[in-house]
């Protein structure tokens, strides 16, 4: 029999026992709904995590440092040192070279320095961190009080909430106020290399106290300057270009002296290199190593995250499949009942020339139709459950004064998977009833009253 | 003039069933020939094996021994798929209890064998109307079997049996559920159908008088054996 005729007959048969078949279809729908809802939660959480991490720039960033070449205390005086291979300095020239590399979109140094801030004539010790312009899109400043820096060189500061509370518990009142940043500016001394052996008389620098007036323009709850590449949480955030012009003495400056790099050329303790996409990280990391630097990325952490969510999704699928397994028993029951009730009809069909395979296909199509409708309804219900979860989450987060997020997501592949899975499971459930119907002896079936 | 090959030829056909430890010989060593275009009435009391014999000719059952040859095809050697094709293309069946599908209209009931034979949809409607007009029910095409009298239902069953243009029409007690006048009209219809060149009819009945009036040959069965076989008139 042709598929269209099989479908016609199957629909007709299903309509005959509309209540029973509707309930069976509903059973499948509930099973699929639980599956789709669970998976949508898994997908949603994964998307949320990856998008947050992607926005944070952690997974498209490479942390570059000079190769460690620190001479130990037993190195002896300069005159007796063995000619060691000098590590390539991470200086302005290196930064420019890295910036020119393909797929690199941003190269910026880590600028953090511990210093004193005067606010309302009172001193406060804090860590200052320079924030690149791109950090605005990282999500860390979402929901902040006030606004982001008006320009890359603006004399403006954003305070981390905990630090802001130290200045004034009413953090909102800080916005628009001024504070004074007191810091030590590094000023290079003339190199003594001109006077003698550069190895024996390396250059140095002096530190000069300076002040900078900054306007507070925002207060942020999160810690945008912490995490990957950070040496400690920045609590007073200023634009990175501004931080660079301050030439404030940093922790690594002392190390530079030991490494003979404390000349008039400033070096960076580290550079953060951002590439166009996380997939380009590995190749770029290798190229940076070829240039003579140490490079590190969180790509492995990203892989672990993917593995975690795969296992998480698998577990959700297994648990939510239990409901579908129960629905499968419902399909088997419905179709076995249908075979019993329609024994005579099966006998008539066979007497009129239906092959065993025609009868089998008829019951298969009926099972498939139950699965198809159950799948479509189930996906819709699963989506509805997901939306309800999202709604509830957003409501809860808003009550906590946090921005709302979608924790569930039903992508197209999940819709297709839900429906296909329902059809396949239903077809599997139809195997036994269909083969039982096909095996019926037509003579016995025709005698059945 | 050359003689036509027989439509049906049964050679020492037996059909035995095991019931517990005893063997039921429903059909026992029956040999019978039905000429092409003939009308054979199988007579016998209840349990004589006539319906079993009809099922063997219909390809719904297989003989325990012997051979059933219909239009040159040995049914005992056919696979189940080939038997299904044989039932679809060579035979049409009419039952005592009509066996129309109650949820389908007459049109859909009659169309069913055409669906099984995968006849094009465009051709089906014409053939269904032809078959129903042949039995005088073209005006009831949209009705359901429950809206019809017993005679009309049997006519519909005959239309369904004929719609695939079979060479053999097998009727199992076609008048068994009908009053005598309606039964007679059904047999008259069968007789008209038999006038089609090459249409062979085998009818199981226990009404000897009707069988003698309408059939060409009578075969009487008893206890699974063929007791007599000869011309009806």
Q: What is the ipTM of this complex?
A: 0.92
| Interchain pair B116, A443: CB under 8 A | no
Ranges in chain B, pLDDT < 50: 1
| Interchain pair B113, A344: CB under 8 A | no
> Could you tell me the CATH number of the domain that includes residue A79?
3.30.70
Residues B83, B70 contacting (CB under 8 angstroms)? no
Q: A213 and A134 in one domain? A: yes
Radius of gyration (C-alpha) of chain A in whole angstroms: 35
- Lowest average pLDDT, out of A130-144, A223-237, B116-130, goes to A223-237
HSE of A289 in the Cβ direction (CA atoms, 13 Å)? 9
Sorting pLDDT into bands at 50, 70 and 90, what band is A130? confident
- The three-state secondary structure class of A264 is coil
Query: What is residue B118's predicted lDDT score, i.e. its pLDDT?
Result: 92
Query: What is residue A82's predicted lDDT score, i.e. its pLDDT?
Result: 45
In chain B, the domains with their CATH numbers are 1-90+166-233 (3.40.50.300), 94-165 (no CATH)
Please compute the mean of the pLDDT values over residues A103-126 and round it to a whole number.
87
The whole-angstrom separation of Cα A22 and Cα A228 is 55
Q: Which residue has the tokens 């629905």?
A: A327
Q: A121 and A91 in one domain? A: no
The mean pLDDT of chain A is 82
pLDDT greater than 90 at residue A280: no
Q: Could you tell me if A96 lies within 8 Å of chain B, comparing CB atoms?
A: no
Q: A119 and A97 in one domain? A: no
pLDDT greater than 50 at residue A429: yes
Q: Could you tell me if A18 lies within 8 Å of chain B, comparing CB atoms?
A: no
Query: What is residue A85's predicted lDDT score, i.e. its pLDDT?
Result: 55
Q: A321 and A179 in one domain? A: no
Sequence-ordered list of residues with C-beta below 8 angstroms from that of A36, at least 6 positions apart, any chain = A378, A379, A381, A382, A383, A385, A386, A410, A414, A415, A418
| Interchain pair B80, A355: CB under 8 A | yes
Q: Could you tell me if A357 lies within 8 Å of chain B, comparing CB atoms?
A: yes
Q: A169 and A88 in one domain? A: no
Q: A318 and A254 in one domain? A: no
pLDDT greater than 90 at residue A47: no
Sequence-ordered list of residues with C-beta below 8 angstroms from that of B53, at least 6 positions apart, any chain = B10, B13, B15, B27, B30, B32, B42, B204, B221
Chain B residues with CB under 8 Å of a chain A CB are 55, 58, 60-61, 80-81, 84-85, 87-89, 93, 95, 99, 101, 103-104, 112-113, 115-118, 160, 164
pLDDT greater than 50 at residue A83: no
Cα dihedral sign, A335-A339-A345-A346: positive
| Interchain pair A351, B93: CB under 8 A | yes
CA-wise closest residue to B169 among B178, B160, B177: B160
Q: What are phi and psi of B185, to 5 degrees?
A: -65, -35
| Interchain pair B58, A351: CB under 8 A | yes
Query: What is residue B1's predicted lDDT score, i.e. its pLDDT?
Result: 45
Query: What is residue A52's predicted lDDT score, i.e. its pLDDT?
Result: 72
The whole-angstrom separation of Cα A396 and Cα A93 is 51
Please compute the mean of the pLDDT values over residues A330-355 and round it to a whole number.
90
Q: A260 and A116 in one domain? A: yes
Q: A394 and A350 in one domain? A: yes
Give the end of a domain, one of A249, A276, A297.
A297
pLDDT greater than 70 at residue A16: yes
Search chain B and give the residue with CA nearest A5.
B115
Strands of A75-147, DSSP E: 104-109, 112-119, 122-131, 145-146
Query: What is residue A311's predicted lDDT score, i.e. its pLDDT?
Result: 87
Query: What is residue A77's predicted lDDT score, i.e. its pLDDT?
Result: 46
* Count of C-beta atoms within a 10 Å radius of residue B17: 11
Residues A272, A61 contacting (CB under 8 angstroms)? yes
Q: A82 and A190 in one domain? A: no
Sequence-ordered list of residues with C-beta below 8 angstroms from that of A244, at least 6 positions apart, any chain = A109, A111, A130
How many structural domains are present in chain A? 3
- The three-state secondary structure class of A65 is strand
Instruction: Give A295-325 pLDDT, tens digit per residue.
Output: 888 776 667 777 888 888 888 888 878 888 8
Give the end of a domain, one of A245, A279, A297.
A297
* Count of C-beta atoms within a 10 Å radius of residue B84: 24
Instruction: Give A375-423 pLDDT, tens digit per residue.
Output: 999 999 999 999 999 999 999 988 887 888 888 999 999 999 999 999 9
Query: What is residue A357's predicted lDDT score, i.e. its pLDDT?
Result: 92
The whole-angstrom separation of Cα B54 and Cα B161 is 15
CB-based burial label for A241 (10 Å; 0-12, 13-18, 19+): middle
CA distance B64 to chain A (A): 15
pLDDT greater than 90 at residue A264: no
The whole-angstrom separation of Cα A156 and Cα A241 is 12
Sequence-ordered list of residues with C-beta below 8 angstroms from that of B203, at least 6 positions apart, any chain = B39, B40, B41, B42, B170, B171, B174, B190, B211, B215
Residue A354 has its nearest CB partner, among B84, B101, B104, at: B84
Sorting pLDDT into bands at 50, 70 and 90, what band is A191? low
Please compute the mean of the pLDDT values over residues A37-64 and round it to a whole number.
80
CA distance A23 to chain B (A): 21
Q: Hey, which residues 323-352 in chain A have their CB within 8 Å of chain B?
A: 344-345, 347-352
Residues B229, B218 contacting (CB under 8 angstroms)? yes
Q: A79 and A35 in one domain? A: no
Contacts of B103 in chain A (CB under 8 A): 12, 16
pLDDT greater than 50 at residue A137: yes
Bridge pairing between strands A205-220 and A156-160: parallel
Domain of residue A216 covers 111-266
Residues A318, B54 contacting (CB under 8 angstroms)? no
Residue B88 has its nearest CB partner, among A12, A16, A353, at: A353
Query: What is residue B29's predicted lDDT score, i.e. its pLDDT?
Result: 93
CA A411 to chain centroid, in Å, comes to 16
CA distance A368 to chain B (A): 20
Q: Which residue has the tokens 């009391």?
A: B45
Residue A351 has its nearest CB partner, among B60, B103, B164, at: B60
pLDDT greater than 50 at residue A231: no
Search chain A and give the residue with CA nearest B121.
A5
The whole-angstrom separation of Cα A126 and Cα A114 is 6
Q: What is the DSSP letter of B102?
A: T
Query: What is residue A201's predicted lDDT score, i.e. its pLDDT?
Result: 47
CA distance A32 to chain B (A): 32
Residue B55 has its nearest CB partner, among A5, A349, A443, at: A443
| Interchain pair A1, B115: CB under 8 A | yes
Q: What is the DSSP letter of A77?
A: -
Q: A128 and A239 in one domain? A: yes
Query: What is residue B157's predicted lDDT score, i.e. its pLDDT?
Result: 94
Q: A177 and A153 in one domain? A: yes
A122-152 b/e (C-beta count within 10 Å ≥ 16 → b): eebebbbbbbbeebeebbbbeebbbebbeee
Length of chain B equals: 233
Please compute the mean of the pLDDT values over residues A93-104 and round it to a whole number.
89
CA-wise closest residue to B220 among B206, B200, B199, B202: B206
Query: What is residue A8's predicted lDDT score, i.e. its pLDDT?
Result: 87
């Amino acid at each position: 029999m042709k598929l269209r005729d099989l479908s016609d007959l199957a629909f007709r048969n299903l309509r005959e026992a509309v209540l029973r078949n509707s309930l069976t279809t509903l059973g499948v729908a509930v099973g699929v709904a639980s599956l789709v809802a669970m998976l949508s939660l898994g997908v949603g959480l994964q998307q949320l995590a990856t998008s947050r991490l992607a926005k944070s720039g952690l997974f498209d960033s490479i942390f570059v440092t000079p190769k460690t070449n620190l001479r130990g205390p037993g190195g002896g005086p300069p005159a007796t040192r063995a000619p060691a291979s000098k590590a390539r300095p991470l200086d302005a020239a290196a930064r420019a070279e890295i910036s020119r590399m393909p797929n690199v979109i941003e190269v910026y140094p880590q600028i953090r320095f511990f210093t004193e801030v005067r606010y309302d004539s009172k001193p406060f010790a804090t860590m200052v961190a320079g924030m690149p312009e791109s950090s605005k899109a990282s999500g860390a400043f979402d929901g902040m009080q006030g606004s982001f820096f008006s320009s890359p060189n603006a004399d403006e500061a954003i305070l981390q909430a905990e630090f802001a509370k130290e200045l004034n518990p009413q953090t909102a009142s800080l916005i628009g106020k001024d504070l004074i940043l007191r810091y030590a500016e590094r000023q290079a001394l003339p190199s003594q290399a001109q006077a003698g052996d550069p190895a024996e008389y390396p250059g140095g620098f002096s530190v000069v106290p300076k002040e900078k007036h900054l306007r507070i323009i925002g207060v942020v709850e999160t810690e945008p300057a912490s995490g990957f590449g950070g040496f400690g949480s920045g609590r007073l955030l200023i634009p990175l270009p501004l931080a660079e012009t301050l030439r404030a003495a940093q922790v690594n400056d002392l190390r530079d002296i030991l490494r003979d790099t404390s000349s008039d050329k400033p070096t960076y303790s580290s550079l953060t290199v951002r590439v166009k996409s996380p997939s380009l990280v590995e190749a770029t990391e290798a190229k940076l190593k070829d240039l003579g630097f140490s490079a590190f990325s969180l790509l492995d952490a990203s892989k672990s995250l993917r593995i975690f969510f795969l296992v998480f999704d698998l577990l959700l699928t297994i648990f939510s499949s239990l409901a579908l397994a129960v629905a499968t028993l419902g399909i088997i029951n419905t179709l076995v009942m249908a075979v019993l009730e329609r024994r005579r009809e099966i006998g008539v069909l066979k007497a009129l020339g239906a092959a065993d395979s025609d009868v089998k296909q008829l019951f298969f199509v009926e099972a498939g139709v139950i699965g198809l409708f159950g799948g479509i309804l189930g996906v819709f219900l699963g989506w509805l459950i997901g939306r309800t979860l999202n709604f509830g989450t957003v409501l809860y987060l808003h009550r906590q004064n946090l921005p709302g997020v979608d924790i569930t997501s039903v992508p197209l592949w999940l819709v297709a998977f839900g429906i296909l899975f329902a059809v396949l499971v239903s077809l599997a459930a139809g195997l036994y009833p269909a083969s039982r119907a096909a095996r019926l002896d037509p003579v016995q079936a025709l005698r059945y009253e | 003039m050359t003689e036509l090959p027989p439509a049906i030829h049964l050679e020492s056909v037996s059909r035995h069933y095991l019931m517990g430890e005893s063997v039921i010989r429903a059909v026992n060593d029956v040999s019978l020939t039905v000429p092409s275009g003939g009308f054979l009435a199988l007579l016998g009391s209840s349990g004589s094996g006539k319906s079993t014999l009809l099922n063997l000719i219909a390809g719904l059952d297989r003989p325990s021994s012997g051979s059933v040859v219909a239009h040159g095809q040995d049914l005992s050697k056919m696979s189940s798929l080939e038997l299904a094709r044989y039932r679809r293309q060579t035979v049409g069946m009419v039952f005592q209890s009509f066996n129309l599908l109650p949820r389908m209209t007459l049109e859909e009931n009659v169309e069913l064998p055409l669906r099984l034979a995968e006849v094009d949809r465009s051709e089906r409607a014409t053939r269904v109307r032809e078959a129903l007009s042949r039995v005088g029910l073209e005006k009831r095409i949209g009705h359901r079997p429950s809206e019809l009298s017993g005679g009309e239902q049997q006519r519909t069953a005959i239309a369904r049996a004929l719609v695939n243009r079979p060479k053999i029409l097998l009727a199992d007690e076609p008048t068994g559920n009908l009053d005598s006048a309606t039964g007679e009209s059904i047999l008259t219809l069968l007789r008209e159908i038999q006038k089609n060149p090459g249409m062979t009819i085998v009818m199981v009945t226990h009404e000897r008088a009707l069988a003698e009036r309408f059939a060409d040959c009578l075969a009487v069965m008893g206890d699974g054996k063929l007791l007599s076989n000869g011309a009806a008139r």
